[in-house]
Amino acid sequence: MSERLPILRIGDILLVSVQFDLEDQMVLNLQEDLANEIVAKSARGVVIDISALEIVDSFVGRMLATVAAISRVLDARTVVVGMRPAVAITLVELGLSLGGVSTALDLEKGLAKLRQPTSSALR
């Protein structure tokens, strides 16, 4: 048996808040649960809050990228919010830039990002 993280729903958006260091199996469960929930709840967006995480290694990084890719296939968007500076620096040094993942500074900005029409390519 292994624990599963609760997935909350706000309108057509799914919200997961990761509050503690996850075991690998929980990471895999989360990925699976999110894929199921996106379809079951016809979600348009997913917000994953990692502001409490002091560590994101390549395993968790890969899960974030995979969830983003899965949600794209299922016509939803994923935003990862609240990554700490030290975590961001470490991930870059590790060689993970999470190319296809949208990010936001905090939950509020993440939700706002999902409300915006898709990427208004400003340059």
Partner 1 sequence: MTAPWTAGEDPQVHPIARSGDLVHIRQAIRTLSQECRLSLVDQTKMITAASELARNTLIYGGGGTVSSGLVSANGKRGVAAVFEDSGPGIADVEQAMTDGWTSGGGLGLGLSGARRLVDDFQLVTAPGEGTTVTIIKWVR
Partner 2 sequence: MAKRDSAADLVGLLTIEGQDLAAAWVREVSGSLGGRVGTAELDRELRELYDALVDALRQGATDVHSEQMSEIRALLTELSRNRARQGFSPTETAISVFALKRVLEPVLQDGTADQIRAYLQFNGILDGLGLFAIETYTQTRDELIAAQAEQLLELSTPVVRLWDGVIAVPLVGTLDSARTQVVMEKLLQALVDTGSEQAIIDITGVPAVDTQVAQHLLKTIVAARLMGAECTVSGISPQIAQTIVALGIEFDDIVTKASLADALKLALRRSGVDLVAHEGAQR
Q: Which residues bind partner 2 (CB under 8 A)?
A: 79-81, 83-85, 87-89, 91-93, 97-98, 103-106, 109-110, 122-123
Q: What are phi and psi of 104, to 5 degrees?
A: -150, 155
The closest of 104, 118, 81, 115 to 11, measured between CA atoms, is: 115
Partner whose binding site includes residue 24, from partner 1, partner 2, none (CB under 5 to 8 Å by kind): partner 1
Rounded-to-integer distance, Cα 42 and Cα 118, Å: 18
Closest separation between CB of residue 53 and partner 2, Å?
12
Q: What are phi and psi of 61, to 5 degrees?
A: -60, -45
Nearer to partner 1, 9 or 20 (CB): 20
Nearer to partner 1, 83 or 114 (CB): 83
Nearest-Å Rg of the Cα atoms of the chain is: 14
**What is the contact surface with partner 1 in residues (CB under 8 A)?**
21-25, 54-59, 61-62, 84-87, 89-90, 93-96
Nearer to partner 2, 33 or 65 (CB): 65
How many Cβ atoms from other residues are within 10 Å of residue 113's Cβ? 18
